[in-house]
Amino acid sequence: MRDLVRLGSSALVLLLIMFVGSLVLWLGIPLGWLWIGSQIETATKSLGAAVGAMMFGVIASVAALVAVLSRLSNTYRRTRVARGLDDTGHFALETVLVLSAGATIVGFSIWFFLFAGTSPIRSR
């Protein structure tokens, strides 16, 4: 906790931006391209065109977002070094990605079992 206070507000903002970007990576991109694919399929009546566009779009979007997250991680590392702290490599980005993936899995599980109308236990 003491290291977080020594980092300053700019590093904490970078961590928050990385966390939001990671959530977009796990949730926003897949859901966004599913919606875009559904619009393409509705307009063209071609499932192949929709799936092709979604595949290309997801790959391009993930590649672009990974590049942005990598730049943010490098900026965070430079901020740590400027404050006189050790350079931990990309540990912060890795931690943020794991935590956001966990939050996404928990959120999806809650939605799936409680709100989506499915349940492993049959109710009468």
What residue numbers bound the domain in which 99 lies? 22-106
Q: Is residue 66 included in any domain, yes or no?
A: yes
Under the banding of pLDDT at 50, 70 and 90, the label for residue 111 is confident
* Share above pLDDT 70 across residues of the chain, in percent, rounded to a whole number: 89
Q: Averaged over 17-38, what is the pLDDT?
A: 95
Residue at 68 is within a domain? yes
Per-residue model confidence as pLDDT tens digits over 53-91 = 999 999 999 999 999 999 999 999 998 888 888 888 999
Query: Which residue would you say has higher pLDDT here, 117 or 56?
Result: 56
**86 within some domain:** yes
What is the pLDDT, as a whole number, of residue 117? 76
Residue 8: per-residue pLDDT: 72
Q: Does residue 4 form part of some domain?
A: no
Q: 6-31 b/e with 16+ CB inside 10 Å = b?
A: ebeeebeebbebbbebbbbbbeebbe
pTM: 0.80
